């Protein structure tokens, strides 16, 4: 197991962002899903040692990440929204980060090419669009090919071609690097995901092998869009069984 949480709680005043989550995340690619405000990002920030648990515990590589530099340098993270100092350039920031981990310019060149940040890497971050910020945050997370990479919404704010590219990059690194990914855009990721965790309302909703929970995930998260056809309204039922809707009459 690369991450283990036991009765993990994080409260912000009266808000119970996480309210007793016990979950184990194995090696491989893990997707964390859940409704807005459910506690996914809070879980991620507890795993990366940004937050300290209110109670309970979380361990990454067997150690608590809070105040633990040894663990923190073993993973890369791309937060959402990405957070950077505004008045440095992308290159300056990546340089500083890479240096702190013992990597040099070649590694910056590699990640800059990988996520296509080269055209704006020497501009100040304050002038970046949300797409540029996303690319820079992904580039940072991949510096040094860490053994674990956390990605919060890696497919948000990028165009369709780039989305495919990001998925390909993750797929290429599968088996060598572990990933924990939060993504509302989950369907294109499913083929490369090993494990799925669903967090909602501060609680663990489900955790399991992707192939075993696929149906449940589809039931929970596939948009059930009502389509008008020939005057009657169709809406797939949560069980996936189509049936007459007396209310539509
Ligand atoms: N730093 C904070 N201070 C106060 N409340 C917070 C803080 N961070 C998160 N929350 C609250 O905790 C709850 C869980 O938020 P969190 O961001 O973890 O959810 P999420 O599942 O990542 O949501 P989304 O999918 O919208 O990003 C929300 O009610 C949120 O408003």
pLDDT of 56 reads 98
Handedness of CA 183, 86, 123, 113 (dihedral sign): negative
**Residue of 38, 185, 221 best suited for mutating to test ligand 1, as the one with most atoms within 8 Å of CB:** 38
Shared domain check, 68 and 169: yes
- Condensed to tens digits (0 to 9), the pLDDT of residues 164-199 reads 999 999 999 999 999 999 999 999 999 999 999 999
Q: What gap in Å lies between CA 76 and CA 147, rounded to an integer?
A: 8
Shared domain check, 93 and 27: no
Atom of ligand 1 nearest to the CA of 18: 14
Shared domain check, 131 and 95: yes
Residue 92: band (very low, low, confident or very high) from pLDDT cuts 50, 70, 90 = very high
- Residue range 87-96: average pLDDT? 96
pLDDT of 161 reads 87
- Position 158 in a domain: yes
**Residue ID of nearest Cα to ligand 1 atom 8:** 42
pLDDT of 107 reads 97
Instruction: Indicate if the pLDDT at residue 113 is higher than 50.
Output: yes
- Position 246 in a domain: no
Residue 244: band (very low, low, confident or very high) from pLDDT cuts 50, 70, 90 = very low
How many CA atoms within 13 Å lie on the side-chain side of 200?
10
Shared domain check, 213 and 186: yes
Instruction: Indicate if the pLDDT at residue 137 is higher than 60.
Output: yes
pLDDT of 132 reads 95
Counting the structural domains of the chain, the total is: 2
**Residue of 18, 32, 42, 53 best suited for mutating to test ligand 1, as the one with most atoms within 8 Å of CB:** 42
Global pTM?
A: 0.89
Any atom of ligand 1 within 6 Å of the Cβ of 39 = yes
**Residue of 12, 32, 185 best suited for mutating to test ligand 1, as the one with most atoms within 8 Å of CB:** 12
- Position 100 in a domain: yes
Any atom of ligand 1 within 6 Å of the Cβ of 134 = no
Shared domain check, 51 and 64: yes
Instruction: Indicate if the pLDDT at residue 208 is higher than 90.
Output: yes
- Position 229 in a domain: no
pLDDT of 219 reads 92
How many CA atoms within 13 Å lie on the side-chain side of 159?
4
Shared domain check, 52 and 167: yes
pLDDT of 246 reads 34
- Position 185 in a domain: yes
Shared domain check, 159 and 69: yes
Shared domain check, 122 and 166: no
Contacts for 241 with CB less than 8 Å, ≥ 6 apart: none
- Read off φ and ψ for residue 163, nearest 5 degrees: -55, -50
- Residue range 116-133: average pLDDT? 96
Shared domain check, 142 and 163: no
Domain range spanning residue 97? 87-146
Instruction: Indicate if the pLDDT at residue 233 is higher than 80.
Output: no
- ipTM over 0.90? The verdict is yes
- Position 184 in a domain: yes
Shared domain check, 134 and 107: yes
pLDDT of 144 reads 96
Shared domain check, 43 and 160: yes
| C-alpha 114 – ligand 1 centre gap (Å) | 30
Q: What is the CATH number of the domain that holds 177?
A: 3.40.50.300
Cβ atoms of residues 37 and 216 within 8 Å: no
The helix/strand/coil state of 16 is: strand
pLDDT of 228 reads 63
């Amino acid at each position: 197991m690369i991450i283990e949480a036991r009765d993990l709680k994080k409260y912000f005043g009266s808000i119970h962002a996480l309210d007793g989550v016990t979950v184990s995340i194995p090696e491989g690619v893990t997707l964390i899903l859940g409704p807005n405000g459910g506690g996914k990002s809070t879980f991620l920030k507890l795993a990366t040692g940004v937050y300290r648990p209110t109670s309970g515990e979380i361990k990454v590589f067997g150690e608590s990440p809070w105040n633990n530099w040894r663990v923190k340098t073993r993973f890369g993270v791309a937060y959402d929204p990405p957070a950077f100092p505004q008045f440095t350039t992308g290159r300056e920031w990546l340089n500083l980060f890479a240096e702190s981990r013992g990597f040099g310019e070649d590694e910056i060149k590699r990640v800059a090419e990988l996520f296509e940040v080269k055209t704006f890497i020497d501009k100040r971050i304050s002038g970046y669009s949300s797409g540029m910020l996303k690319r820079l945050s992904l580039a940072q997370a991949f510096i040094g090919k860490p053994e674990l990479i956390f990605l919060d919404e890696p497919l948000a704010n990028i165009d369709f071609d780039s989305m495919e590219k990001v998925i390909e990059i993750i797929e290429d690194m599968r088996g060598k690097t572990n990933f924990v990914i939060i993504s509302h855009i989950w369907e294109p990721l499913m083929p490369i995901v090993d494990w799925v965790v669903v967090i909602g309302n501060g609680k663990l909703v489900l955790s399991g092998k992707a192939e075993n929970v696929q149906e449940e995930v589809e039931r929970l998260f596939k948009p059930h869009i009502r389509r008008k056809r020939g005057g009657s309204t169709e809406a797939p039922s949560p069980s996936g069984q189509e049936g007459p809707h007396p209310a539509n009459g």
